[in-house]
């Protein structure tokens, strides 16, 4: 599940009376930081790291230097290094919200979900209207199987950012997990309303509609998935099953045949196509499908063979 990244390159300004020598040192430090940021944006990572290392060596109290080096290290996938730098920033300035958020992202990359959740929680304690932090925290809670808590955090994200299709979709998944299919569909509808390009949104809504027995609309959703991803086997299998429930057996045979054209070793498709053919009063074809399914190891097909095909 994709998380929201917000690795901001910030600039920290301190106001105080400085000597000429100290001012010159700070100015050089700022030049190194700006140079490192520019090189990082150009994806010239090693020279950028060299500049930011010099900035940190020059001023070990520069939250700006540590922060931006942490951003760079994160981009370079040096997640432990990024965590060290963001931790250093927080030693200097705990009131910054971005280091908490970005350190959480680095912990996420290391699958330290407990640590990431603690940091996201701190971020929203500093800035209550931080929908991305609630969202990422909720994703971590889902990874840990804590769906009720995840749902609450998705709701908080949507409270501060009503147009947030990813949050609507994932809250729908949480609601689906507790079989609240109507509420899940409402969330999937909202996600699709603002982003109709995501096949997962249609697939999940189709599954929820099928769970409620609304197979006709489920077929429409699975067709949408197939249009977007023609190679999606599961969408075709789900569509065919919905067609079976609708007693559209000829259509189901066509859909299962499409599956088998893409995946000839799909024993479940052979089995279910055989069932559809049996309903269409094509026992010979049905038995041949079940024989193929048995050869592929499908136990259910064996029971159909014994019941309908044994001479």
Q: Is the pLDDT of residue 241 over 60?
A: yes
CATH of the domain at 254: 1.25.40.10
**What are the pLDDT digits (tens) for 102-124?**
999 999 999 999 999 999 999 99
Q: pTM to 2 decimals?
A: 0.87
**At CB < 8 A and 24+ separation, what contacts does 209-218 make?**
209/181, 209/185, 210/238, 210/241, 210/242, 210/245, 211/176, 211/179, 211/181, 212/181, 212/182, 212/185, 213/245, 215/242, 215/243, 215/245, 215/246, 216/242, 216/246, 218/242
Inside any domain, residue 50? no
Number of domains in the chain: 2
- Are 13 and 29 in contact by the 8 Å Cβ rule? The answer is no
Write down which residue in 204, 219, 246 finishes a domain.
246
Does residue 35 lie within any of the structural domains? no
Same structural domain for residues 257 and 301?
yes
Residues 202, 55: Cα–Cα separation, whole Å: 49
Asked whether 208 and 181 are in contact (CB, 8 A), the reply is yes
Residue 151 lies in a domain: no
- Across the chain, what does the average pLDDT equal? 90
Note the pLDDT of residue 37. Answer: 83
**According to the model, what pLDDT value does residue 7 have?**
54
Residue 40: band (very low, low, confident or very high) from pLDDT cuts 50, 70, 90: confident
pLDDT tens for residues 182-208? Answer: 999 999 999 999 999 999 999 999 999
Residue 21 included in any domain: no
In terms of domains, do 291 and 236 share one?
no
> Does some domain include residue 73?
no
pLDDT at 24: 45
Instruction: Find the domain containing 231 and state its range.
Output: 196-246
Q: Are residues 205 and 224 in contact, defined by beta-carbon separation less than 8 angstroms?
A: no
Q: How confident is the model at residue 292 (pLDDT cuts 50, 70, 90)?
A: very high
- The phi and psi torsions of 85 (rounded to 5 degrees) equal -70, -45
Q: Assign residue 247 a region (left: φ > 0; alpha: ψ between -120 and 50; beta: otherwise).
A: left
Burial of 265 (0-12, 13-18, 19+ CB in 10 A): exposed
Q: Are residues 205 and 231 in the same domain?
A: yes
Q: In this predicted structure, what is the pLDDT of residue 103?
A: 97
Based on the domain organization, do 202 and 234 belong to the same domain?
Answer: yes
265 and 303 together in one domain:
yes
Q: Which of 204, 220, 246 is the last residue of a domain?
A: 246
> Is residue 145 predicted with pLDDT exceeding 70?
yes
Same domain, 259 and 293: yes
Does 17 have pLDDT greater than 60?
A: no
């Amino acid at each position: 599940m994709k998380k929201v990244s917000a690795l901001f390159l910030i600039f920290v300004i301190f106001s105080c009376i400085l000597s000429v020598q100290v001012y010159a040192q700070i100015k050089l430090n700022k030049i190194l930081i700006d140079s490192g940021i520019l090189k990082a944006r150009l994806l010239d990572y090693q020279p950028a790291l060299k500049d930011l290392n010099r900035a940190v060596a020059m001023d070990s109290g520069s939250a700006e230097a540590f922060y931006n080096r942490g951003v760079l290290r994160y981009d370079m996938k040096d997640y432990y290094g990024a965590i060290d730098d963001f931790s250093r920033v927080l030693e200097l300035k705990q009131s910054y919200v971005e280091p908490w958020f970005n350190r959480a992202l680095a912990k996420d990359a290391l699958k330290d979900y407990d640590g990431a959740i603690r940091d996201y929680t701190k971020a929203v304690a500093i800035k209550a209207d931080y929908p991305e932090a609630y969202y990422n925290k909720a994703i971590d809670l889902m990874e840990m199987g804590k769906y009720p808590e995840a749902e609450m955090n998705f709701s908080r994200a949507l409270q501060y950012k009503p147009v947030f299709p990813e949050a609507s979709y994932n809250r729908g998944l949480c609601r689906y997990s507790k079989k609240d299919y109507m509420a899940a569909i409402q969330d999937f509808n909202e996600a699709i309303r603002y982003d109709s390009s995501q096949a997962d949104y249609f697939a999940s809504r189709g599954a929820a509609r099928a769970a409620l027995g609304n197979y006709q609309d489920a077929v429409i959703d699975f067709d949408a998935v197939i249009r977007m991803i023609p190679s999606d086997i599961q969408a075709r299998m789900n569509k065919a099953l919905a067609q079976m429930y609708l007693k559209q057996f000829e259509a189901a045979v066509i859909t299962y045949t499409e599956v088998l054209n893409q995946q000839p070793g799909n024993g479940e498709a052979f089995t279910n196509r055989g069932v559809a053919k049996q309903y269409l009063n094509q026992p010979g074809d049905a038995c041949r499908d079940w024989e193929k399914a048995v050869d592929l190891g499908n136990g259910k097909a064996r029971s159909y063979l014994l019941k309908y095909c044994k001479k």
